[in-house]
Structure 1
Amino acid sequence: MVQRHFRLGFAGFGNVGRALARLLLERRDELAHRRGLTFSVTLLASARRGARVEPAGIDLEVALRDGWSSPGRLQDVLGSAPLDLLFEATPLEPRTGEPALSHMRAALERGVSVVSANKGPIALAAGELFGIARKTRAGFRFESSVADCMPVFNLVEAAVPVGRLLRFRGVLNSTSNHVLQAIGRGQPADAAVAEMQRLGLAEADPAHDLDGWDQAVKIVILANVLMGRDLKPADVERTPLAAVDAAWLRREARAGRTVRLVGEVSADGPARVRPVSLGPGEFLASLRGVSLGLTIDTELAGPINVSSVEPHVEQTAYGMLADLVAIRDGRPMVPTPLLGED
C-alpha cells in the first residue's frame, strides 16, 4: 500500500481536540499499516494557549501532558503554516460561525483539507465552502458536526445513491435530551446540566443546547447539504427548554409517553426544534440517557433509523478520524446538491 503522509493542524484543543490527539497516538501504527496513513502535527492552536507552529512536528504526548504557550494567533499563521489538513474543533457560534468560518476559508483557499466538528460554519456557508474546496481540490468533511460519530453523511453516501431524501427527524443534542428526562423525574434542570458538564458532554455555557440553537444548526446542515435547501439557523422555529412545562413532562411520563426535543426538516417544509411527546413504540422514544438518534425518510428505501448509544467526546473524535481516513482514501467530500451536477 502506498503511504500518504499528512501534516495535521488543530484549531481548538479542548475536550474534542484532546480526545482526537489521544486517538491519533493510540492508532498511529494501525493507521500506517492498515490504511497507509502517516502523520505529523505541525500546528496546535487554542484561544487560551495561542498558536504553535513546528514544521518538523510537535510531540503530541508532551502537548497533552504539559500544554504550550505561544504568542502567535491562529488567524495570523494559517496562511503560512505547513499543513495538509486542519481539524476544526473550536466552540460553536451559531449566528456568524466565527472565528471558525474564517479558519476554514483560509485553509481551503490554500488547498488545505478541512475536517470539522464545528457545525456553525457548515450551517451558514456550506455552499461557499464546498465551492472553495472543489476549486482548490481540498478535502472537506464534517461527519462529527451533526451527531458525534453517528454515520449520517457516510450512510447517505453509501446506502442512498438513488432517490430523494424526504425528511430528517431526530434527537441530536445529548444535553437537552438528558435535561428533559431529569425534569420528567422531578429533578432540577441545573443539576442535570452540571452532570453533563462533569462528563465533558456540555459546554461551560450550555445555552446553545438548552435554547435549541445547537439542534437547529444541525438540522440546517442536514437540509442544506443533503437536500440542497438554503436555510439559516434563524429560519428554524425553536422552542427552548425554558418554555417546557415540567408538570406536562411528568403527566406524559405517567401516561407512558416520552418527551424529547426533536429537530425536524423536510425537503420543502418548515424546519422545527420543539418538545414532542412520543409513544412507547416510536424509535426516538427508545433513546435513553444521552443517546442520539435520527430517522431519515427516503423516497425508495423507506425510513432508515440510525443511533449513537451513550456517545462521549471520544466518539466525536472518532468521527473526525474517520473523515481523515476518508480523505486519505480518495473520498474528499460528501456528495451534495450544493455543487450541482458534475
Structure 2
Amino acid sequence: MSVKVALIGFGGVGQAFAEIIQDKQQELLRVHDLEVEIVAVSDVMKGAVYRREGLDIPHLLQCVKQLGSVEAYSKHKDIVKGWSSLETIVQSEADVIIEVTYTDVKTGEPALTHCHKAFETGKSVITTNKGPVALAYTELLEKAKKRGVFFGFEGTVMSGTPALRLPLETLTGNNIKEIRGILNGTTNYILTSMENGMEYPEALQKAQTLGYAEADPTSDVEGYDVRYKTAILSNHVWGIPLTFDDIPCEGISKLTAEDIAEAENNGEKWKLIARITQNGPGNVSASVKPERIKVDDLLAGVSGATNAIVYECDLSGPIMLTGAGAGLKETGFSLLIDLIHYQKQKQPSKI
C-alpha cells in the first residue's frame, strides 16, 4: 500500500523532494518497500491541487517551473484546486503532511498550526521548519504520541546531514557529555572569507551574491538561527527543554579582519560555535558565540558553507559528523530520511 503525501509549501525544497521521489521511486519500492504518492500540494504563492489517486510528478513540476502555478495542472480531470493549507491538511486523504513553508522562527507560524492540525486529524508530520520544533518540541511530540502518529524533523538542524538520528540511534549507549557544532553555513563561509583577508562587510556581500546569505542576514550573522538549532538539540538529545531566551547568543558581525589575523598568529581560528554541556542529570547549559579554537580542534578545519557537529561521548570519545547544512536537494533528502523511518515504524517486522 502506498504512502499518500501532502506537501504544504512547494518552493525549492518541496520541489526537490518531489524530484527525489520521482528519481528514486523504483529503488524506494525495492529496498524499503516504500511507494510514495504525492496526492496534494498547497502553496500560498503557487496555489493548491489535490487528487485522491495521486498527482503526476513530472507534470506537476512542469506546471510550476514553466507556469509558476500548481493550479495549471491538467493531467487529470478528477482534481480539486484552490484549497488553503488547512483545508488541504484536513480534507485530503494524506497519510503524511510534509510541512516546508517559510516560517517565522519567533512564533513558529504558520508551521506550528499546520503541525497541530495534522495531528488532530490523525496525520503524521515531517518538517524541516526549525520554528515549531524549537518552540514547542515537547508539546508536539506528546501530541503526536497521543494520536499514534509520526513526527519527523531530521532536517531542522543540519539539513540532509543526520545530526539528530545519529546520537539517539548510532551512538546509543554512550553518555553524551557535550555537543559542539558549526551549525550555520552562512557564518562559516563569511569567517572563511575573512581568513582570506576580507573585512566583514565584503565577506557578507560575497555570501549574499552567492546566495548563502539572505538580503536581511540578521538571523544568520547574529546567531539566532543557531540558537534555535541548539534548543532543538538539547530537547532531542537530553530531553531537557531550553527556550530561545535560555541560550546566551552572540553573532559574528563585530569581528574584524584584525581579530581573524590575531587568532591565526596564535595558532587559532574563529568559529561561531553552538555548545551544549551536560552538567549533571537533568541539567545542561548552552551558548552560541564566536570562539577562538586551536587549529588542531576537530572543528577548526571545517571551512566554507560546510556544517559540522561533535558529540563528546564517554565510551566512543569525540565523534564528528560533517556535511552540507543547507541546499535544496540536501534538505529534500532529510524529508526522505524521515519518510523511510515513518515506513519502518509502520512495518516493524520489515526493519
- TM-score, reference length from structure 1: 0.89
Partner residue, 1:328: 343
Q: Distance between the aligned counterparts of 1:309 and 1:149, measured in 2?
A: 7
Partner residue, 2:48: 51
Aligned length: 326
Q: Distance between the aligned counterparts of 2:271 and 2:210, measured in 1?
A: 17
* 1:190 corresponds to 2:187: no
Cα deviation for residue 48 of structure 1 reads: 1.0
* 1:153 corresponds to 2:164: yes
User: Do 1:185 and 1:250's aligned partners in 2 also have CA atoms closer than 8 Å?
Assistant: no
User: Do 1:193 and 1:206's aligned partners in 2 also have CA atoms closer than 8 Å?
Assistant: no
User: Do 1:295 and 1:305's aligned partners in 2 also have CA atoms closer than 8 Å?
Assistant: yes
Partner residue, 1:285: 300
Q: SS at the partner of 1:86?
A: strand
RMSD of equivalent CA atoms: 2.0
The farther-off stretch of 234-243 and 15-24 is 234-243
Cα deviation for residue 71 of structure 1 reads: 3.8
- Give CA deviations for 1:280-323 in whole Å, capped at 9, x if unaligned: 11111111211111111233333221111586331221121011
User: Do 1:45 and 1:73's aligned partners in 2 also have CA atoms closer than 8 Å?
Assistant: yes
* 1:18 corresponds to 2:33: no
User: Do 2:6 and 2:89's aligned partners in 1 also have CA atoms closer than 8 Å?
Assistant: no
Give the letter aligned to residue 42 of structure 2.
A
Partner residue, 1:102: 113
Give % identity: 27
Q: Distance between the aligned counterparts of 1:290 and 1:308, measured in 2?
A: 9
User: Do 2:161 and 2:324's aligned partners in 1 also have CA atoms closer than 8 Å?
Assistant: no
Give the direction of change, closer, same or farther, for the CA distance of 1:76–1:234 in structure 2 (3 Å limit). farther
The runs of 5 or more residues in structure 2 that have no matched partner are 65-69, 72-80
Residues 1-342 of structure 1 mapped to structure 2, 5 A cutoff: 4-67=1-64, 68-69=70-71, 71-187=82-198, 188-197=202-211, 201-203=212-214, 205-267=216-278, 268-308=283-323, 312-330=327-345
Give the direction of change, closer, same or farther, for the CA distance of 1:92–1:237 in structure 2 (3 Å limit). farther
User: Do 1:171 and 1:260's aligned partners in 2 also have CA atoms closer than 8 Å?
Assistant: yes
Cα deviation for residue 161 of structure 1 reads: 2.6
User: Do 2:97 and 2:125's aligned partners in 1 also have CA atoms closer than 8 Å?
Assistant: yes
- Give CA deviations for 1:119-165 in whole Å, capped at 9, x if unaligned: 11111111111111111111111111110122222212322332432
Give the direction of change, closer, same or farther, for the CA distance of 1:105–1:66 in structure 2 (3 Å limit). same
Q: Distance between the aligned counterparts of 1:248 and 1:21, measured in 2?
A: 45
User: Do 2:103 and 2:131's aligned partners in 1 also have CA atoms closer than 8 Å?
Assistant: yes
Q: Distance between the aligned counterparts of 2:57 and 2:95, measured in 1?
A: 17
Give the letter aligned to residue 281 of structure 1.
D
Give the direction of change, closer, same or farther, for the CA distance of 1:136–1:270 in structure 2 (3 Å limit). same
Q: SS at the partner of 1:220?
A: helix
Q: Distance between the aligned counterparts of 2:195 and 2:149, measured in 1?
A: 47
Cα deviation for residue 326 of structure 1 reads: 0.9
Cα deviation for residue 50 of structure 1 reads: 2.8
Give the direction of change, closer, same or farther, for the CA distance of 1:57–1:204 in structure 2 (3 Å limit). farther
Cα deviation for residue 244 of structure 1 reads: 2.2
Give the direction of change, closer, same or farther, for the CA distance of 1:250–1:62 in structure 2 (3 Å limit). farther
Q: Distance between the aligned counterparts of 1:12 and 1:186, measured in 2?
A: 40
Give the direction of change, closer, same or farther, for the CA distance of 1:222–1:247 in structure 2 (3 Å limit). same
Q: SS at the partner of 2:299?
A: helix
User: Do 1:178 and 1:192's aligned partners in 2 also have CA atoms closer than 8 Å?
Assistant: no
User: Do 1:256 and 1:279's aligned partners in 2 also have CA atoms closer than 8 Å?
Assistant: yes
Cα deviation for residue 204 of structure 1 reads: 5.1
Give the letter aligned to residue 11 of structure 2.
G
- Give CA deviations for 1:215-259 in whole Å, capped at 9, x if unaligned: 111110010121111211222211122222332123223444221
The runs of 5 or more residues in structure 1 that have no matched partner are 333-342
- TM-score, reference length from structure 2: 0.87
